[in-house]
Amino acid sequence: MGSYAGYKGYGASVADELGRRDRNEFYNIPKDDFLSISPTPFAHPQILHNKKSLITSFTHNSHTLCTLLLNHLNTHLHLPPLTLQNLHKLANPSGDQIRLIKAPPQPPSDLRTSLGKHTDFGSLTLLFNRLGGLQILPPPSLIPEGQKAEWTYVKPLPGHCIVNLGDAMSKFTRGVLRSNIHRVVSPPGEQAEYERWSVVYFMRPGDDVALKPLESDAIPKTEGKKMGGDIGGWIWGEGEEEEEEEEMTAKEWILLQALRLRGKAGRGNGVNEYGKGKGIDEMSGEERKKLWDASGRGI
């Protein structure tokens, strides 16, 4: 089904509904590779192995912070002690990873989205960066009546990180917790002249964890109804049920979501039907548009 470890080049994914390519490059470092969990680790360059102590330290500290947040959520969701924590054990195989992202300055005459609108498909995300560019689309509950949601910058603060909830938490809680829609554009003002670097830690459930609702008096028993314009999130409708989704493990879900906008994802055969097995470089503009629409991000 492919791999999402290692390097993703500039323009290797679809960024918007027009089929335009993204404007960033990044490198994914799976926690399992550097904590000696994976039996078949990715062939990372030696420069990363030279920094193994730094990578493992960052992984341990990031996971500890995420676990603290899970503990808080576990309490407020009235779940049995350690329920969420046990789904995200550091020592278990999972899709947890560090991502190093570089987005170069964009041409002043062609400023646009560098990473298209999406929700994170894991559980929790920690984002560390110094330049702006991250935007969120506020949910309907925060929009004054009669007004339309508009993209809003999230300002980085010194000594802070930005925390996102992902789709896995939406699935575990039937939408009590929702993954927020966000994107990355050129940084505002004078910041646009500089390279934008980010370090991200993605916490994801253990590979074998089934992405299905948990049992709690704080989690609705009925299915939710998808909200138009929301990606991966839920809204509740009295007496209305959504068609039941095929149950997936966390590993299946993450691989599908991670590769689908590169023309590589497909359940079972590793190929996305809209690109007929092609990579982004081989696709026409129309095929890239269809790939975007099929991803659910163009809703």
Mean pLDDT value across residues 244-273: 64
- Domain residue spans of the chain: 6-247
* Angle, vertex CA 90, rays to CA 9 and CA 72, nearest 5: 105
Q: How confident is the model at residue 237 (pLDDT cuts 50, 70, 90)?
A: very low
Other CB atoms within a 10 A radius of the CB of residue 62 amount to: 22
Q: Which tokens sit at 87?
A: 């789904």
Residue-wise pLDDT tens digits, 169-182: 999 999 999 988 99
Residue 296: pLDDT above 80?
A: no
More confident residue, 277 or 298: 277
Q: What is the model's pLDDT at position 254?
A: 85
* pLDDT value, residue 43: 96
Are 123 and 65 in contact by the 8 Å Cβ rule? The answer is no
Rounded to an integer, what is the distance from CA 33 to the centroid of its chain?
20
Q: Which amino acid is at 59?
A: T
Spatial distance between the Cα atoms of 254 and 93, rounded to a whole number of angstroms: 13
Q: pLDDT at residue 143 above 90?
A: no
- What is the pTM (predicted TM-score) of this model? 0.84
Token pair of 45 as six digits: 């360059």
pLDDT tens readout for residues 32-53: 999 999 999 999 999 999 999 9
- pLDDT band of residue 129 (cuts 50, 70, 90) is very high
Residue with the bigger pLDDT between 226 and 159: it is 159
CATH number, domain 6-247, options 2.60.120.330, 3.20.20.370, 2.70.98.30, 1.10.540.10: 2.60.120.330
Contact at 8 Å (CB) between 183 and 118? Answer: yes
Average pLDDT over residues 235-253: 62
Residue 173 to residues 47, 109, 223, 232, 254, Cα–Cα distance (Å): 40, 44, 10, 12, 18
